[in-house]
Amino acid sequence: MDELLVPQANTVAHPPGRTRLEAMEQGPQGHRSWDEELRSRGYRVTPQRQLVLEAVARLNHATPEEIAACVQQTAKGVNISTIYRTLELLDSLGLVAHTHLNHGAPTYHLATEAAHVHLVCQNCGKIDEASQEEVAPLTKVLDDQHGFETNVAHLTVFGLCNDCRSKHSA
Partner DNA sequence: TTACGTGCAAAGTCTTTGCAACCAT
Partner DNA sequence: ATGGTTGCAAAGACTTTGCACGTAA
CB atoms within 10 A of CB 101: 17
Q: Which amino acid is at 50?
A: Q
DSSP symbols for 69-112: HHHHHH-TT--HHHHHHHHHHHHHTTSEEEEE-SSS-EEEEETT
Contact of residue 79 among DNA, a copy of itself, none (CB under 5-8 Å per partner type): DNA
Contact of residue 25 among a copy of itself, DNA, none (CB under 5-8 Å per partner type): none
Q: How far apart are CA 159 and CA 161, in angstroms?
A: 7
**Least distance to DNA, CB of residue 42, Å:** 6
**Least distance to DNA, CB of residue 35, Å:** 7
Q: How far apart are CA 147 and CA 135, in angstroms?
A: 16
- Binding residue for DNA, selected from 73, 79, 92, 162, defined by CB under 7 A: 79
Nearer to DNA, 105 or 157 (CB): 105
Nearer to a copy of itself, 1 or 141 (CB): 141
If binding is defined by CB under 7 A, does position 84 make contact with DNA?
A: yes
Q: How far apart are CA 106 and CA 89, in angstroms?
A: 15
Nearer to DNA, 83 or 135 (CB): 83
- Point out which residues bind DNA (CB under 7 A): 1-4, 8, 10, 35, 38-39, 42-49, 63-65, 75, 77-82, 84-86, 88, 104-106
